[in-house]
Structure 1
Amino acid sequence: MSTFDCKPGERPTRTGRTQPQADYRITLDGRDLSRLIAPNLVSLSLAESRADEADMLDLVIDDTQNTFAIPLRGANIAVSIGWVGEPLVDKGTFTVDQVEHSGAPDIITIKARSASMTNRMHERREKSWHRQTIGAIVQAIAARHGLKPTVDATLAQILIDHIDQTHESDMSFLTRVAKRYDAVMTVKTRHLLFLPIGGGKTASGKPLDVLPLTRASGDQHHYRIVERDSYAAVRAHYHSNGKAQRKSVAVGDEKARNTKVLPQDYATEAEARAAAQAEYARIQRQQATLSYTLALGRPELFPEMPVTVSGFKPEIDDTPWLVKKATHKLGSEGFTTELELEVRKDSKKKQGGATSGKH
């Protein structure tokens, strides 16, 4: 029985014990190909990211028996993954972006990206946005692409005095706005999401449960910590009431020498403060990172999910973590999940207040 056989059951090991068996469903333009692919699947890799990176699907299929036709670019592949005997987790629909056929032996390699990341989202545009809330901007762009907007209530009310979209795609523009406010902008299942990083809520507003992970569940990890307080503060500049006088706002310990200065000047003090706070939060999250491979894949894991770990060094166990990227892999070594984790906001002491001044 193949590791990737979609039939119910467990795979026996050499010791006679059984271990969980991976299960999946793959459809191409609505046609279920799971059983046809099962004995020929070399590997499946599904990378889920946040921000402007599209979720990516890579399929490698053995075609030595000339079983498969080469799929057309633009075809839609729907994927669900999990374990035999458990409900499969829907990972969405992907649009075929690139196909390769090589040999011998004959192999088909398919690369696909999130179907909702339409080509039109990457078309460059010219537009000036004046005194618009983030909610209104996201709603307008979502409507243009036939997507449903989902915006955090607090972020939706933020008023942007003026911002230009100059020879810039909607994807790039929204990503830039999201970065300014420490938010994540992405498209999932026909929804345009604009949510705070580490907000701890689903797109529908429901709280995300903190998922505990143990070292016994994994087989590889890499922990990295950077110099403590590499930047103790962030400073951003703005022009007061449209006047020539240049002022600044700082977040963190403004008296510290190691202050990061943002290169852009902002239209208002509020926008400058938001940008400084966002960059300061990013610096705090990146002071420690943890990559961790789960020996038995966890299909329910996805970016922005809060997790805790145990069984490592105290410094690692005591840090609340946030999933930045999850890569699910099915192959000859079974079903694994590779996680990229960064520090959650609530692991830090209260951030320094913002101060203003001429500069």
Structure 2
Amino acid sequence: MSKRALFNVTVAGTNITTALMPVLLGLQVSDKVGTHTDSADLEIDDTDGRIVLPQIGAPVAIALGWDSEGMRVVFEGTVDEVKSSGTRSAGRRLRITAKGMDTTGRAKEGQQRHWDGATVEKILREAATHAGITQIEIDPALRNLTRGYFEMRDESLIAMGERLSREIGGNFRLTGGRIVLSKRNADYATAIAATWGQNLHSWDIAPRLGRPQFGAVRGRWYDVAAGAWQIVERATGIDVPSVYADRFARSGALETTQQGKSDAATTARDAGEGTVVIEGNTAAVPDGICTVSGTRPGVDGSYRIEAVTHTLTRAGGFVTTLELKQPQLGAGTDARAETTAPVSASANVPPIIDPDATGPF
């Protein structure tokens, strides 16, 4: 028996699911690590103008799921844009775009402030207070990291949060009226399976990429007391000879070390990449793990989820697209290379004959 996809959409406190059912052409929710917020798009057949035009800033909540499993909220945010379009051939369309953060709020407003010897938690909380945000979730491993000196020069909370997260190896997000600062490459969620013959629709994966790989990362800071530059180097765990050097000097050994950890985590994450499309799965979240199987040796293995996109359409049903990075647990390594002798490329190729020579060469 086939499963039936379910959805639920609430706008400005009103459940519009019933009104949407006969006119919804497509729904998409996207969430990506390293971007400040998630997004949602609804495309509606607007022939009869059945849906009341939503106001910018109106709260939006979207849930997706299956009739046999129930639904889960995959998006909370506010309306960012409403666009009407129409042609003689294609008819009338209404597209509603929503963002996880309130794009009309003060989070995008520049601030002038600085901190001396402050923790990451203090910096974020004080900057968030100006933006009217009180809910802040910070990974315990990042909460008490300190900055010798940190400033905002007409910088928004969004831009500052993303910059700070890059320095300390975190991922900054502002969604549903709250700030989330998670640790890069941490294990927060249960692994999602993408198995050929079961839930895997398609894959497009490069399990190893040469250019982003570095065997070590290097940073520097100026020691005033010694009157000399100090170098801090950290291995990434990747067996290549190249070294990534941070372009900017840091204020001290502590911040140089923290930046090195962040750069090493980024290098490990970027070592491979790919995309899989699976049956709709609302348990998939950015920074979680996806275990791919049934493709081929060297590609099967575990990967870090970089981005999650849920799509519901009339033609394609409910599917989830996962952008993958950071190959792990065998991904990128064909174990057969260690046990099987390689086959010569010229084993079955006839010799080349030079008509001016006396024999093959």
Aligned 8 A contact 1:52 1:171 in 2:
no
Residue 290 to residue 306, structure 1, CA distance change in 2 (3 Å): same
2:204 alignment counterpart: 222
Q: Which runs of structure 2 are paired with 1:47-62 in the superposition (5 Å)?
A: 47-62=30-45
> CA 1:191/1:66 → structure 2, altered by over 3 Å: closer, same or farther?
closer
Q: 1:242 to 1:87 in 2, by over 3 A?
A: farther
1:150-299 correspondence runs (5 A): 150-201=137-188, 208-216=189-197, 217-224=199-206, 225-227=208-210, 230-241=213-224, 245-252=228-235, 258-294=242-278, 296-299=279-282
- Residue 49 and residue 347 in structure 1: after superposition, are their counterparts in 2 closer, same or farther (change >3 A)? same
SS at match of 1:263: coil
Q: Residue 323 of structure 2 aligns to which amino acid in structure 1?
A: E
Match of 1:7 in 2: none
Counterpart CA distance in 1 for 2:320 and 2:311 is 6
Q: Give the Å deviation of 1:39.
A: 0.6
1:76 maps to amino acid: P
Distance 1:222 1:297, change over 3 A: same
Deviations 1:243-272 (CA, angstroms, capped at 9, x unpaired)? 753222111289x86222111111111111
Asked if 1:323 corresponds to 2:305, the answer is yes
Task: Work out the CA distance in 1 between the residues paired with 2:212 and 2:21.
Answer: 50
User: Deviation per CA, 1:273-302, whole angstroms, max 9, x where unpaired?
Assistant: 1112211221111111121011x2112211
Q: Give the distance between the partners of 1:249 and 1:74, measured in 2 at CA.
A: 47
Look at both structures and tell me which one has the larger radius of gyration over its CA atoms: 2
More deviation in 321-330 or 107-116?
107-116
Q: Which deviates more from structure 2 when the two are superposed, residues 164-173 or residues 242-251?
A: 242-251
Does the Cα contact within 8 Å between 1:322 and 1:342 map onto a contact in 2?
yes
1:143 and 2:126 equivalent? Answer: no
Secondary structure at the aligned position of 2:292 is classed as strand
8 Å contact from structure 1 (residues 54, 117) kept in 2:
no
Q: Following TM superposition, by how much is the alpha carbon of 1:59 offset from its aligned partner in structure 2, in angstroms?
A: 0.5
Q: Please say if 1:68 is aligned against 2:55.
A: no
Post-superposition offset of 1:96: 1.2
Deviating more after overlay: 138-147 vs 283-292:
138-147
For 1:253 and 1:37, how far apart are their aligned partners in 2?
A: 50
When the two structures are aligned, how many residues end up with a matched partner?
323
Q: Which residue number corresponds to residue 5 of structure 1?
A: none
Distance 2:254 2:83 in 1: 50
CA displacement at 1:190 relative to structure 2? 3.0
State the SS of the aligned residue for 1:102: strand
Counterparts of 1:210 and 1:166 in 2: how far apart (Å)?
Answer: 41
Moved more, 309-318 or 104-113: 309-318
Deviation of 1:215 (Å) = 2.1
Instruction: Note if contact 1:198-1:306 (Cα within 8 Å) is conserved in structure 2.
Output: no
Q: Answer whether contact 1:128 1:164 (CA < 8 A) is retained.
A: yes
Q: 5+ unaligned residues in a row in structure 2: which ranges?
A: 332-361
- After superposition, the Cα gap between the structure-2 partners of 1:321 and 1:116, relative to the gap in structure 1 and judged at 3 Å, is farther
TM-score by length of 2: 0.83
Partner deviation per Cα, 1:286-334 (whole Å, 9 max, x = no partner): 111121011x21122111112212112222223x211110000011211
Q: In 1, Cα distance between the equivalents of 2:230 and 2:328?
A: 28
C-alpha separation in 1, matches of 2:330 and 2:167: 22
Residue 107 of structure 2 is matched in structure 1 by 121
Q: Find the partner of 2:82 among 99, 113, 126.
A: 99
Which string of whole-angstrom CA distances, capped at 9 and with x for unpartnered residues, describes residues 132-168 of structure 1? 0112212223333223121122211211111222221
Q: Distance in 1 between matches of 2:108 and 2:76?
A: 19
- Shift of the 243–79 alpha-carbon distance from structure 1 to 2, 3 Å rule, reads farther
Of the structure 1 ranges 335-344 and 233-242, higher mean CA displacement relative to structure 2 is found in 233-242
- Alpha-carbon distance in 2 for matches of 1:330, 1:21: 11
Distance 2:123 2:328 in 1: 27
Partners of 2:216 and 2:119 in 1: how far apart? 27
